[in-house]
Homo-oligomer: A and B are copies of this chain.
Amino acid sequence: MSAEKLAFEDFEPGRRFPLGPKPVTAEEIVEFAREFDPQPMHLDEAAGRASILGGLAASGWHTSAMLMRMMADSYILNALCEGAPGIDLMEWRKPVLSGDTLQGYSTVLEARPMRSRPGIGIAKFRHEVENQRGELVCLSENSVMIRMRPAPDINMSPEMTA
């Protein structure tokens, strides 16, 4: 299985991967907020309307986590990933409201071998996530550590050794 997965070499700059679609429900906005960000505009429709967000709005940290899940389903789980050192950019451009549907794409910006870890490279991505009206709600960049393709076995055929 592992040999069929995407390796570092497959993440060429310019390559794009689709993200979503991911519908966002009131229930999951509230569930995330209760655990991680219990501010009124993430817990209650009326409080959200009264805030500058204009409705029951997902915590930005929830939007970020949903982005991670969209990345996982699009390419991370199908690649030889070894984790990520952090987030380079995370802009919550517009509120993500209950009933919205998120989608977008990840684009490989650059890819380079790691000096400190032989056999592993770093691919840097830009992630753009829009709502159902085509409005950019989240712009992000981060880097992911990905194993290089294993060297092929040297199984030379009898003919080739002749």
Interface on A for B, CB 8 Å cutoff? 32, 35-39, 41, 51-53, 57, 59-62, 64-66, 68-69, 72, 76-77, 81-87, 89-92, 117, 145
Contact = CB atoms under 8 A, between A and B. Distances in A.
- 3 closest pairs, A vs B, by CB? A87-B90, A86-B91, A36-B65
B52 A83 contact: yes
Contact of A64 (B64, B92, B145): B64
Copies in the complex: 2
A52 B146 CA distance: 12
A67 to B, nearest CB: 8
Nearest to A85: B92
Contact of A39 (B36, B59, B61, B76): B76
Contacts of A86: 60, 89-92
Contacts of A32: 65
Contact of A60 (B59, B81, B82, B83): B83
Contacts of A66: 36
